[in-house]
Amino acid sequence: MTFLQLDQLGKTFGDFRAVESLSLHVERGEFVSLLGPSGCGKTTTLQMVAGFVEPTRGRILLNGTDITATRPEKRGMGVVFQSYALFPHMTVADNIGFGLEMRGMPRAERLRRIEETIELVRLPGLGKRYPKELSGGQRQRVAVARALAVRPEVLLLDEPMSNLDAKLREDMHVELRGIQRHLGITTILVTHDQVEAMTMSDRIAVMHGGRIVQLATPYEAYERPDSAFASTFLGKTNVLRGTVEARNARCCEVRVGDALLHVPHEARDFAREVNVYVRPEKVRLAPADAGSGVAGTVRTRLFLGNHWLIEVDSALGPVRVSHPNIGPVPPAEGDAVAVQWHDDDLRILDTEAIHG
């Protein structure tokens, strides 16, 4: 059953259309990410759900009730802000208890809930501190605790990790996801970080130009992007421009340079000019004399710890290869190699889709 429903939501600032007819159904307890670059309308969408921004069109329904015109203080949302927006003049405990106090919870119960929430986000003993006496990571936990303490109908996270360093961010992804599952809180996350969206979400809404261009599980969205934008924004990919020469029941034959690629078309129609996509981690390096694959030369080779990033100048154009750090060191710059892949790992999209 749909718990939170955004129905053809739109927001215009002057001439600028920040969000265009956006519809989204979120199930109870589900974690949905709005993922996109800055200016794609994701934050505006979140602010409309929170009630800080009034939509110019469309409706927001929470549990069947229209809350489009409801004031933010009556919506019962819990928001974690990018800047955390903690109250600097209140202690950690008072910050966390603020929402409970506003809801008129009796003092004894409130103190118990504050203690419980402090435990939940693992900040024991810091209740009497002031925000400025905490580290960035601790402040972030307080912001999360403050939002969770009120047991919100919906938890809204506005780029909550963008002020944390990379290591801390990874830990928080796992932890926050754990807490969200544990409490079963319906959550919307706004982020431009695709790793964050993928690790935490049940579904990802990839946004571009004020619209949702793809709504799918992280695996689906990554493996079967249905637009050029989604395929390049979500992870890295190689784009090979080609022309469709033939088509059978399962595959298109696409000519890219001198080579003929067999790409599964998944029963979709394409124009003659197409782009073929292949993810760097799905490309393998083979010896130049292997007799299979496309021949090329290693242009750059970068060591990134868990893998090597290798760029090969091939007959198809430059191809990026993500080579796992297993076995011997891969060929050096200037070496002749061949690149191979499974035909099933190739994706095909119309060239005009590159703008949409």
Structure tokens given for 234: 């979500």
Could you say which residues in the range 86-145 bind another protein, by CB under 8 A?
86-89, 98-99, 102-103, 130, 132
Could you tell me whether strands 31-35 and 203-208 are parallel, antiparallel, or unpaired per DSSP bridges? parallel
Q: Toward another protein, which CB reaches closer, 41 or 99?
A: 99
Q: Does 38 bind another protein (CB under 8 A)?
A: no
> Do 3 and 62 contact (CB within 8 A), yes or no?
yes
Q: Does 4 bind another protein (CB under 8 A)?
A: no
- Pick the piece of the chain touching another protein (CB under 8 A) from 50-58, 204-212, 250-258, 259-267: 50-58
Instruction: Please choose, from the candidates 74, 157, 149, 76, the residue with its C-alpha nearest in 3D space to the C-alpha of residue 118.
Output: 149
Q: Does 3 bind another protein (CB under 8 A)?
A: no
* # residues near another protein by CB under 8 A: 29
Please pick, from the candidates 19, 40, 50, 234, the single residue that binds another protein as defined by CB under 8 A.
50
Closest separation in Å from C-beta 103 to another protein? 6
Residues 304, 332: Cα–Cα separation, whole Å: 15
Binding map of another protein across residues 150-189, x = CB under 8 A, - = no contact: x-----x---------------------------------
Instruction: Please choose, from the candidates 146, 151, 150, 246, the residue with its C-alpha nearest in 3D space to the C-alpha of residue 160.
Output: 146
Q: Does 216 bind another protein (CB under 8 A)?
A: no
Instruction: Please choose, from the candidates 211, 205, 229, 330, the residue with its C-alpha nearest in 3D space to the C-alpha of residue 277.
Output: 229
Q: In angstroms, how far is CA 159 from the centroid of its own chain?
A: 11
Residues 187, 200: Cα–Cα separation, whole Å: 10
Residues 32, 3: Cα–Cα separation, whole Å: 12
Q: How many CB atoms lie within 10 A of CB 1?
A: 7
Closest separation in Å from C-beta 253 to another protein? 54
Closest separation in Å from C-beta 63 to another protein? 18
Binding site for another protein (CB under 8 A): 50-52, 71-79, 81-83, 85-89, 98-99, 102-103, 130, 132, 146, 150, 156
